[in-house]
Amino acid sequence: MQISLARQVALVTGASSGIGAASARTLADAGAAVVINYHSSAGPAEALAREINANGGHAIAVGADVSKEPDVERLFAQTLEAFGSLDILVANSGLQKDAATVDMRLEDWNTVIGTNLTGQFLCARAALRIFTRQGIRQGVSRAAGKIIHMSSVHQRIPWAGHANYAASKGGVDLLMQSLAQETSHQRIRINSIAPGAIRTAINRDATEGAQEQKLLELIPYGRVGDVEDVANAVLWLASDLSDYVVGTTLFIDGGMSLYPRFRDNG
């Protein structure tokens, strides 16, 4: 089945690489005009926009730090300026600053919460302001707007040495559910995706060489995920095929959140 997002506009944050870039490419392939947000990697984001435009799609790259309110306001203003509307937000920007808690600097706590949680709040708020003003665009989508929060299996699985990251993703879970409860009567659909170990720059150390074998002990399905595994779910959640899906989290993790070590122990 061909999923069409024709005449829809999608904004993907943190889209210069990894899950964000794959999501932007997949949404563009389905016909959406795409805003590729990046923080510091202008080159790859602009290259992706060029690639999409060369393939007959519509894309622009816009730099903005999602943890900064004025940057977020400018990002959404530029989206409307370029494409006239917004239908889909993929709040994807995220980072890790790992350390044992006794060694964790306040700066590393604040940076992670700032991007992963505050950034998702600021972007969701900006999107909701547009969606409520815009309403349902007849013939374009059954919903007045869709938000997909990029969470993590660590919204559920505690993670020693990554307390800032796990706390940010636990926060994303209840941010998402609260926003969905607040806005679904306006026909706005808000959901999360919780990826497990996906092969990207964020976890290169854990997914390469001998470390990969160790990681696979945590993944019953027996492989590390690819960015397309997540991008395909982004496409489904952004489309009307998931029109009755509201306020839920889709785990895309090869079974990592099933606590596989309990299979033959406990």
Q: Per-residue string for binding with ligand BGC, 41-70, x by CB under 6 A?
A: ------------------------------
For residues 118 and 164, give the distance between their C-alpha atoms in angstroms, rounded to a whole number: 13
Q: Which is nearer to ligand BGC, 82 or 104 (CB)?
A: 104
Tell me the three state secondary structure of residue 239. coil
Phi, psi of 225 (to 5 degrees): -75, 160
Q: Which is nearer to ligand BGC, 67 or 96 (CB)?
A: 96
Vertex 47: Cα angle to 43 and 50 (nearest 5): 140
User: 6 to 25, contacts with ligand BGC by CB under 6 A?
Assistant: none
Number of C-alpha atoms within 13 angstroms, CB side, residue 19? 29
244 noted as active-site residue: no
Per CB under 6 A, does 153 bind ligand BGC?
yes
CB of 160 to ligand BGC, least distance (A): 11
For residues 164 and 100, give the distance between their C-alpha atoms in angstroms, rounded to a whole number: 10
Q: Which of 196, 199, 252, 254 binds ligand BGC (CB under 6 A)?
A: 196
Per CB under 6 A, does 197 bind ligand BGC?
yes
For residues 247 and 250, give the distance between their C-alpha atoms in angstroms, rounded to a whole number: 10
CB of 198 to ligand BGC, least distance (A): 7
Q: Under a CB-based contact definition with an 8 Å cutoff, are residues 165 and 154 in contact? A: yes
Q: Name which of 223, 239, 201, 228 is nearest 41 in CA terms.
A: 201
Vertex 243: Cα angle to 238 and 246 (nearest 5): 85
Per CB under 6 A, does 184 bind ligand BGC?
no
User: 73 to 132, contacts with ligand BGC by CB under 6 A?
Assistant: 96
Question: Which of 165, 221, 244, 259 is the catalytic position?
Answer: 165
Within 10 Å of residue 226's Cβ, how many Cβ atoms?
A: 14
Q: Per-residue string for binding with ligand BGC, 201-220, x by CB under 6 A?
A: -xx--x--------------
**Active-site residue numbers?**
165
Interface positions with ligand BGC (CB under 6 A): 96, 152-154, 196-197, 202-203, 206
